[in-house]
Amino acid sequence: MKKQLELSPELQGLLTAINNVPNYWAKFDLEPLTDLPQFNRSLLVVGFSAVPVEKDKSEFFTVKVTQVFTKENGEVLTTKHEREWHIYAKDTINLTDGKGKEIKVMEKTLDEDGNLVEEKEINLEAPSIKHIKFLLLNKEAHLVDILGQFMGLYYNKFKNEIDRL
């Protein structure tokens, strides 16, 4: 006996779209290396996990990253597994508006008499994991968008390792 599903074109299209989803959560394009200018390269978030707070332990979020080198036609030449990034609850991150734009504020330095000595614009910081949770729980940003934004930070933090062949 053979079973067959009757699917509308819309449902068939939905199933096709689901099956065509890439094998990564977020993608961050990089400049080609000077030694390999003929290849495009990207950082891909291939996995992540959050470790909950346990008694006397720090909560952390782990992001697993792979660098992919592709030819002009999109064919993958090679991949390079990069170091995992552990983001700890004690770490801070520049506060964003949910769309990736950093929030800046004016910081004033006053002397003992309250007179302005210096004024400069700085990035407002927040606890990293709490900020991620805030953005997600308040529907300010999607997880995929947050992971994509974090890849810029990841690249800046580990640039020398990532750019080394």
Cβ atoms of 89 and 128 closer than 8 Å: yes
First to last CA, the chain: 56
Cβ atoms of 40 and 29 closer than 8 Å: yes
Host H or E run for residue 131: helix 128-137
Give the tens place of pLDDT for each residue, 91-114.
Answer: 888 887 767 678 899 999 989 998
Euclidean distance between CA atoms 125 and 96, whole angstroms: 9
What is the domain partition of the chain in residue ranges? 23-163
- The token pair at 5 is 């599903």
Give the tens place of pLDDT for each residue, 63-100.
Answer: 899 989 988 887 887 888 888 888 888 888 888 776 76
pLDDT of the residue at 56: 56
